[in-house]
Structure 1
Amino acid sequence: MISMTRKLALVAGIGLALAGVSHTPPATAQVSVGVGIHVAPPAPRYERMPPARRGFIWSQGYWRWEPRAHRYVWVPGTWVRARAGYRWYPGVWVRRGPSWYWRDGYWGR
């Protein structure tokens, strides 16, 4: 038979464990990892923009570096849900010295 002190300690431990699992602090930082590529991306492909969709904006396709294949692969454009009061800035390849870096698209004011 378990003593009352042990029972209380067990219940308190379980409660703290559950509280720790259920608590999710707000995200305050973003982490980004960049890999420099010494091969320039190809020119963007022409994509016909589909007819407008209410509540969405069209994000053009882009070239993504595929490290296992050592080449760029085309990622087709897609619809992105619009955010009121924000503007969509699409991703872009940026050259720094001899290397190319991908900067993800983002919503800005």
Structure 2
Amino acid sequence: MKKLLIAALIAGSFAGVAAPAGAQIIVDRAPPPPRAEHMPPPRHGYVWAPGYWNWNHGRHVWVAGHWERERRGYSYRAPNWVQRDGHWVMERGGWGHGDRDGDGIPNRVDNHPNNPNRG
């Protein structure tokens, strides 16, 4: 019984190493085109997080858009797939602090921190 308990503890300690929560996802297959979603009317105090293709169990799986409670001083960036070195890499997205328009220039030194035409 003691050996079984030790084996279970060791196996459990390696379970988190295999796929940590923030692990980068790199695959050889491009995601399908984004699905058309109906964005509901604006909600005060919330930001719309559009749907995206996630990678789960060896395939792309659609995650529907949803409302995220607004975070004062932060901006929301949707998850996105980019092609790098012949592979597809998922950029997780989420809440960022200090770069409202996501152009890589911190707001404190950005002449246009809310530029809607970035990129």
* TM-score category of the 2 structures, normalised to the smaller one: 0.5 to 0.7
| TM-score for the superposition, normalised by structure 1 | 0.63
- The alpha carbon displacement at 1:97 in A equals 1.1
In the alignment, which residue of structure 1 is the partner of 2:95?
107
| 1:59-108 per-position Cα deviation (integer Å, ceiling 9, x unaligned) | 000011122xx321111001001011221111111211121111112222
Distance 2:27 2:65 in 1: 22
User: What CA RMSD, in Å, does the superposition of the two structures yield over aligned residues?
Assistant: 1.5
Distance 2:79 2:27 in 1: 16
In the alignment, which residue of structure 1 is the partner of 2:17?
none
| TM-score for the superposition, normalised by structure 2 | 0.59
| Structure label with greater radius of gyration | 1
Unaligned regions of 5+ residues in structure 2, if any?
Answer: 1-20, 99-119
Unaligned regions of 5+ residues in structure 1, if any?
Answer: 1-30
Structure 2 counterpart of 1:101, one-letter code: V
Greater Cα offset, 97-106 or 75-84: 97-106
- Equivalent residues, number: 77
| 1:7-29 per-position Cα deviation (integer Å, ceiling 9, x unaligned) | xxxxxxxxxxxxxxxxxxxxxxx
- The alpha carbon displacement at 1:35 in A equals 3.2
Higher relative contact order (CA 8 A, sep 6+): 1
